[in-house]
Structure 1
Amino acid sequence: MKKIGFDPQKYIEEQSKYILERVNNYDKLYLEFGGKLIGDKHAKRVLPGFDEDAKIKLLQKLKDQAEILICVYAGDIERNKIRGDYGITYDMDVFRLIDELREYGLAVNSVVITRYNGQPATKVFINKLEKRDIKVYTHGAIEGYPSNIETIVSEEGFGQNTYIPTTKPIVVVTAPGPGSGKLATCLNQLYHERRQGRAAGYSKFETFPVWNVPLKHPLNIAYEAATVDLKDVNMMDNYHFETYNEVAVNYNRDLETFPVIKRIIERITGKESVYQSPTDMGVNRVGFGITDDEAIREASKQEIIRRSFDTECDYKKGLSDEETRNHMRLIMEEVELKQEDRAPVKPAREYAKRLMKRAVDNEIPAVIAFELNDGRIITGRTSDLMDACSSAILNAIKALANISDDILLLSPVILEPIKKLKSDGLHKRIPTLTANEILIALSISAVTNPTAQLAYDKLSELKDVQAHSTVILNKDDDQILRNLGLDITCDPVYPSENLYYV
């Protein structure tokens, strides 16, 4: 069983109290939210016990005082940038985010398109939003941002961008991902609020790195691993130490831009900034929710290994460069970790090796190993009937339900027509049944088969199961496992030489 090392209730209480204290200093506080507002899987993995929806629940607690601006960079829409965790484009993620915020009863003020210059795909996106009665504002790029302060804080800079009317004392500024223009939007609003005679402030809510945890703590190193593609590096906040003689951790981008941001705020407000360090700007209290440091360390090390697999696969797919891959390998060496330190990796690879000896071709055997929450290892392999993902799921829920391996959960009477439909009716080149198809067949079988129902009821127990595949999974199987709540990693190996039909 996974050890709990974090108190989510204490964290929410501490965090909401601290934000409200900050709000009391201003007529309005613009709060930049870094990371994921909903479904923060990274935080959940490295802080066992953390509620992945803690941030949104925090905002729900403050909903009478808060409204939300969603920023998205026009360039990300134009090139169809994908969110890796959901497998959807940034524009679709804005729709998803609005729907989920509404479910929590939170007011979405508007969507802000940043660095907009009439891009065609972005025009279509704006039209879609406006047809659904969602307010949209566009901000252009400011030449010399963020260093040319004279231009930025002037009529030619923020003055040319639209002011977004807001009504609540807390304005949360969020986005689908990094580089979306959250900070620039906050500063733009501060400029216009000041011109209208209101005292507005800025703060940053970024969970990682954790400022009051040691620099080389695995928790903070796991953040570096998670942002290796952004080349983020954790560093000591020298501004904070010089001012307060207190050690604090931040990261390179915040430290590099702090002097400029401080000067922009001072230029806007006409007085000395209350912030003497990047850490001062933050309202991060996550470190105060840690209850078991050893549990956090172990969970963070496992996350570093998981991220190393992601990086290796991205490199294999051509989605990242060699520098990123080498940096990730250095991180692994720094923490003295090997990929085999992830429990399901070795069993999956060993099973694949045994199959390889019996193989009649050169294709890599596809094997998936699950480490169940009770520590048992369950494997599945690709066969003529179903793929490795489907096999592993069925074997796992049979084990959880104490159903013998000899008992068939799914009758060939059900499976063969599905396979025939794929090959003959839909003309699929690879008729092997996928996880989605197997789960649909299982749900149908459960209606009349009590044994299938028993296994079906165990699907919820796959949540938080650790899994590893000896080959790169297709998007559908990968998403099914994620939707079931498993943490999946893959060796950077394609299952065949096919480029399209996998």
Structure 2
Amino acid sequence: MRIGFDNDRYIELQAAHIRNRIDQFGGKLYLEFGGKLFDDFHASRVLPGFQPDTKLRMLESLADEAEIVLAINANDIERNKIRGDLGITYDEDLLRLVDAFTGRGFYVGSIVITQYRNQPDADRFRERLTTLGLKSYLHYPIAGYPYDIERIVSDEGYGANDYIETTRPLVVVTAPGPGSGKMATCLSQLYNDHERGITAGYAKFETFPIWNLPLDHPVNIAYEAATIDLDDVNAIDPFHLEAYGVSTVNYNRDIEIFPVLKAMLEKILGQSPYQSPTDMGVNMAGNAIVDDGAVREAANREVVRRYFKAAESARRTGAPSDEAAKIELLMKKARIDANLMPARAAALARAEDTKRSAGAIELRDGRVITGKTSELLGAAASVLLNAMKAQAGIADETSVISNRALEPICRLRDDVLGHDTPQLRPLEMLIALSSSSTDNPEARAAIEHLQELSGCDAHFSSILPEEDEQLLRTLGINASCEARFSTQRYYQE
């Protein structure tokens, strides 16, 4: 659990770099903000010390100069696209983002619905935005995009889009997820500003891959594993190497589209301010790494977690998938395997001994605590309770949950809700433990140590119910599991 990343230094460097880029373009910058802005758990896992809301905290130092434009693809609204880590649709996540930004003191200027073709669900969502008092704009598909530069950079291309009224020097364009049209929104605004005589520029903020780390650095390999479904592949930026003689890392989609983007910028501005996709970036993350060994270890663990997640997803859906196989190749590239984390061996050994589902968690001090399915607790609840007791120094055989706390919970879940599994889920266990803490100081001590499990790695011998996975994720526990179910039933929770 070594810290490998200086969060304060990163915030300082990143904010200064963005201010310099605003000045470079005469006082106005459209900043395409990729990745997750205020809950970037991937970055916090691979860069230990990076906080999930670090990028938002960095922007807070620029809050008086910044406004937020949120983009969402009309096609994603129409097909109810889900954000996998939160389990909510993109349109609901967009509203969540509005609340998150405004709650932190940011000005959310507008929402742009991209790729609009009169989709009925997009129309209903826009009506909802109006009812909520949020300004929205429409951007349309452009024939020949992205290669027909003459058409795109014209009145019938970008010029046909709604012009988003902006008032501040820094316009942060972000979205619920990839494919939302952030870059096109920035370039459309750049074109329409230029037509109105307004000087402005464009830059891109994408944390990964980290351009000044080696191509085969575990942090960059972890990025490939995280975006395996997008077929992103890291590569040396050939344009940067040719222009400056310096080897930097970018990814295939940015490299492939750069000649087109450069031609668009030349058409809009007269000349391109950038000679490479690396030039476009404003990413100082690599300069804030203070312990490369700690970062490498954390990133390798993330690659393994992504492997288990891909295998689990394929098992859950029954759909053929080569994502796990692709990540296996990345693991070989990084010279690691599925047994990297001690919790896996401990969980499998406990399951073999008990012939029931089991799990294990590696605490911050290196201890590995196991738990098994019992008559009272499921595997996840057992591991969680045992880990809390271990952190509090409570003997394993000590009971900390009272029968008085258990009785109403069991009666509710069995007699009223009709659950067909007798074991308590993690949430039910925590409720029972909380109820017990009013009379039992050891139960209270266990709860006081719950937050110390955030950032710990856990592994289970079988697939967890989604409800249990979500709770562990909420607690900040990095959980993975074997790609097999604990029962032979056709329906799995």
SS at match of 1:317: helix
Distance 2:385 2:325 in 1: 37
SS at match of 1:191: helix
The reply on whether 1:234 has 2:234 as its aligned counterpart is yes
Aligned-residue identity in percent: 49
After superposition, residues 71-150 of structure 1 pair within 5 angstroms as 71-150=71-150
Deviates more, 1:303-312 or 1:418-427: 418-427
The reply on whether 1:49 has 2:40 as its aligned counterpart is no
The reply on whether 1:464 has 2:455 as its aligned counterpart is yes
For 1:326, give the aligned amino acid: A
Deviation at 1:440, TM superposition (A): 1.5
Distance 2:396 2:45 in 1: 32
The reply on whether 1:31 has 2:22 as its aligned counterpart is no
In structure 1, what is the equivalent of residue 251 of structure 2?
A: 251
Distance 1:15 1:77 in 2: 33
Q: Deviations over 1:285-337 (max 9, x none)?
A: 11110111111111111111111111111222238753323211111111121
For 1:250, give the aligned amino acid: N
Deviation at 1:88, TM superposition (A): 1.8
Distance 1:318 1:265 in 2: 43
Return the match for 2:378 from 381, 387, 397: 387
Distance 2:134 2:465 in 1: 35
Distance 1:208 1:501, change over 3 A: closer
Q: Deviations over 1:334-393 (max 9, x none)?
A: 11211111120010011111222xxxxxxxx32111111111111112223221111111
Deviation at 1:204, TM superposition (A): 0.2
Distance 1:124 1:475 in 2: 30
For 1:215, give the aligned amino acid: L
In structure 1, what is the equivalent of residue 13 of structure 2?
A: 14
Q: Does the CA contact (< 8 Å) of 1:311 and 1:320 recur in 2?
A: no
In structure 2, what is the equivalent of residue 300 of structure 1?
A: 299
SS at match of 1:344: helix
In structure 1, what is the equivalent of residue 387 of structure 2?
A: 396
The reply on whether 1:498 has 2:478 as its aligned counterpart is no
Deviates more, 1:491-500 or 1:177-186: 491-500
Name the count of aligned residue pairs: 492
Distance 2:75 2:315 in 1: 25
Distance 2:326 2:197 in 1: 48
Q: Does the CA contact (< 8 Å) of 2:354 and 2:372 recur in 1?
A: no
Distance 2:359 2:80 in 1: 31
Deviation at 1:501, TM superposition (A): 5.1
Q: Does the CA contact (< 8 Å) of 1:229 and 1:320 recur in 2?
A: no
The reply on whether 1:438 has 2:424 as its aligned counterpart is no
Distance 1:226 1:112, change over 3 A: same
Distance 1:483 1:467 in 2: 14
Deviation at 1:23, TM superposition (A): 0.3
SS at match of 1:272: coil
For 2:397, give the aligned amino acid: D
For 1:428, give the aligned amino acid: H
After superposition, residues 63-462 of structure 1 pair within 5 angstroms as 63-269=63-269, 271-318=270-317, 321-356=320-355, 365-462=356-453
SS at match of 1:164: coil
Distance 1:134 1:431, change over 3 A: farther
For 2:61, give the aligned amino acid: K
Structure 1 vs Structure 2 CA RMSD:
1.4
In structure 2, what is the equivalent of residue 62 of structure 1?
A: 62
Deviation at 1:119, TM superposition (A): 2.2
Q: Does the CA contact (< 8 Å) of 2:459 and 2:481 recur in 1?
A: yes
Deviates more, 1:441-450 or 1:459-468: 441-450
Task: Name stretches of at least 5 consecutive residues in structure 2 with no aligned partner.
Answer: none
SS at match of 1:448: coil
In structure 1, what is the equivalent of residue 476 of structure 2?
A: 485
Q: Deviations over 1:162-204 (max 9, x none)?
A: 0000000000000111111000100110111011001111000
Q: Does the CA contact (< 8 Å) of 1:429 and 1:501 recur in 2?
A: no
For 2:88, give the aligned amino acid: I
Q: Does the CA contact (< 8 Å) of 2:307 and 2:328 recur in 1?
A: yes
Q: Deviations over 1:114-150 (max 9, x none)?
A: 1122223323322222211111112121122111112
Q: Does the CA contact (< 8 Å) of 1:419 and 1:432 recur in 2?
A: no
Q: Does the CA contact (< 8 Å) of 1:190 and 1:200 recur in 2?
A: yes
Distance 2:316 2:74 in 1: 25
Deviates more, 1:340-349 or 1:377-386: 377-386
Distance 2:211 2:185 in 1: 25
Deviation at 1:430, TM superposition (A): 2.6
Deviates more, 1:200-209 or 1:417-426: 417-426
Distance 1:241 1:75 in 2: 37
Distance 1:414 1:118 in 2: 55
Deviates more, 1:345-354 or 1:413-422: 413-422
For 1:11, give the aligned amino acid: Y
Q: Does the CA contact (< 8 Å) of 1:306 and 1:489 recur in 2?
A: yes
Deviates more, 1:436-445 or 1:342-351: 436-445
In structure 2, what is the equivalent of residue 362 of structure 1?
A: none
Task: Name stretches of at least 5 consecutive residues in structure 1 with no aligned partner.
Answer: 357-364
Distance 1:61 1:379 in 2: 43
Q: Deviations over 1:11-61 (max 9, x none)?
A: 111111111111012241000011110121111111111122111011100
SS at match of 2:339: helix
Deviation at 1:431, TM superposition (A): 3.9
For 2:409, give the aligned amino acid: I
Distance 1:24 1:39, change over 3 A: same
SS at match of 1:341: coil
The reply on whether 1:474 has 2:465 as its aligned counterpart is yes
Distance 1:291 1:273, change over 3 A: same
Q: Does the CA contact (< 8 Å) of 1:72 and 1:176 recur in 2?
A: yes
Distance 2:384 2:446 in 1: 10
SS at match of 1:108: strand
